[in-house]
Amino acid sequence: MTSRSRADIRSARRLVVKVGSSSISGENSGNIALLVDALADVYARNTEVVLVSSGAIATGMPFLRLDERPNDLATQQAAAAVGQNILVFRYQNSFDRYKIVAGQVLLTAGDLENPKSRTNAQQAMERLLGLRILPIVNENDTVATHEIRFGDNDRLASLVAELVGADCLILLSDVDALYTAPPGTPGATPIASVPYGDELDGVTIGSVGTGIGTGGALTKVAAARHAAQVGTGVLLTSTSNVGRAIDGDQVGTWFEPRPLN
């Protein structure tokens, strides 16, 4: 059943959670355990959960002796190849505490645009969920090109939510909510909820990410609007709030889904 409000998240049948690079890499890599604790709670109440995790490039950077995110595609691909392996290991190592098995799913934009590939991806995800495997989805950065990239994992998460028919999408980042202006701007205040179709007139949405990942508030709002359009409620909040978000508490910004009628 589609989550029509925050309170419905706790009873969601199928949940997609997306986490950004800066929340689970570098000095914040310890947040993986926090995130896994929350996802394990969801799993224990028989909710099917899909994790869309950024962080492959950011995780691989130290192993390539890189101090900042590379600009050229080949080095990004190399960092992703190393980082994806380590990232999934860290997740599985944490999930082992709960005897949960994770499955890696790497997608390109082309996979979801091609009908046959999209159907194959959908069938694989359904089978994983049916087997009580927790899919960890990321863009396949090692083979993706500039021309066929999702661009950010917020968009990927909204497309995955649509692909699996999720009841709710939770977008996690460093910021606890969508604000009326970029956080830190004088007078900026958090927005509790966004009615379906609201154009957010008068709201200044920042487009710049942290420099570690590629997303910002603009990509999250675009992803939330896409998911809401296909009938999935969306909650935008910080990774530190993930436990409360999954419990349906009053945190973050709730994007109302398209009305049923």
Binding annotation = 18, 54, 141, 153, 173-174
- How many residues does the structure list for the chain? 261
Alpha helix ranges (H) inside 52-197:
56-60, 73-95, 109-113, 115-130, 153-164
- How far apart CA 77 and CA 229 sit, in angstroms, is 33
CA proximity to 17, closest of 185, 130, 136 = 136
In the structure encoding, which two tokens stand for residue 84, read together?
A: 């994806």
Residues 95-109 as b/e (b if ≥16 CB within 10 A, e otherwise) read beeeebebbbbbbbb
Nearest residue to 5 (alpha-carbon basis) of 234, 175, 261: 234
Q: What residues are designated binding site for ATP?
A: 18, 173-174
Residue positions in the annotated binding site for substrate? 54, 141, 153
